[in-house]
């Protein structure tokens, strides 16, 4: 991720943030309208599993298997936190609420490109096995350059048995600073359908309108 990503970079820091979020959301998340009770329970279980795997990896720092397990256990925690953050943005949480979650207050100073007005247009191509190529550009533009001063395009995706009804179902996430960007999948995921959407992100970390969702069968 680019340096503007709101998530900490290390496993320990991400788990500490996740625990803080659960403490706050278990009390305020439902009144805020950003989480439902089954999700509160599921989030707690994900954090517990990730903490258990992380503790095991910390006790044996040279064990690559334990490190891989810790990284894998953290993935659903991070994916759900990204879903939640999009809900926070949609709900427009107060600065005091954002601070309680360890997030920066909203920047209300008007500066160039604080708002993302551009929309992403993209196409999907199959290049190699286990690879989907995302070729993107500014909607309506004749060139393929990203908007000036932007980090690039946020790509979100998910492998699903049916077409999603909401952007929130696309839980995997990456930043693409250049086009085209290759998404790589596993052998076990070949033949399944991946659903993808994009949005521009400016250098302040703000994201714009999501594109339409497109799909491809993983080769």
25-29, 41-45, 89-93, 162-166: least confidently modelled range: 89-93
Q: What is the pLDDT of residue 5?
A: 64
48-67 mean pLDDT: 93
Q: Residue 185 in 3-state DSSP?
A: coil
Cα 120 to chain centroid distance, Å, stands at: 17
Task: Select 120-217's CATH number: 3.40.50.1220, 3.40.50.150, 3.40.50.300, 2.60.40.10.
Answer: 2.60.40.10
Q: Which residues of 178-203 are buried (b: 16+ CB within 10 A; e: fewer)?
A: ebbbebebeeeeeeeebbbbbbbbbb
Kindly list the domain boundaries of the chain, sorted by start residue: 11-100, 120-217
Determine what percent of the chain is predicted with pLDDT higher than 70.
Answer: 93
86-90, 110-114, 156-160: least confidently modelled range: 110-114
Rounded distance between C-alpha atoms, residue 5 and residue 149, angstroms: 16
Rounded distance between C-alpha atoms, residue 49 and residue 42, angstroms: 11
Higher pLDDT, 130 or 115: 130
Mean pLDDT for the chain?
88
């Amino acid at each position: 991720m680019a340096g503007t990503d709101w998530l900490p970079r290390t496993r320990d820091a991400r788990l500490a943030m996740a625990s803080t979020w659960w403490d706050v959301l278990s009390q305020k998340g439902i009144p805020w309208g950003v989480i439902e009770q089954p999700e509160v329970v599921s989030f707690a279980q994900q954090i517990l599993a990730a903490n258990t795997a992380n503790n095991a990896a910390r006790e044996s720092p040279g064990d690559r298997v334990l490190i891989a397990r810790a990284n894998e256990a953290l993935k659903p925690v991070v994916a759900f936190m990204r879903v939640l953050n999009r809900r926070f943005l949609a709900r427009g949480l107060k600065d005091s609420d954002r601070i309680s979650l360890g997030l920066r207050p909203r920047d209300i100073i008007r500066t160039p490109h604080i708002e993302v007005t551009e929309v992403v247009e993209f196409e999907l191509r199959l290049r190699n096995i286990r690879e989907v190529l995302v070729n993107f550009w500014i909607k309506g533009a004749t060139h393929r350059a990203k908007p000036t001063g932007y980090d690039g395009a946020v790509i979100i995706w998910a492998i699903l048995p049916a077409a999603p009804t909401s952007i929130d179902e696309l839980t995997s996430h990456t930043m693409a600073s250049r086009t085209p960007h290759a998404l790589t999948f596993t052998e076990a995921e070949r033949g399944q359908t991946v659903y993808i959407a994009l949005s521009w992100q400016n250098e302040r970390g703000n994201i714009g309108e999501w594109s339409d969702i497109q799909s491809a069968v993983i080769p």
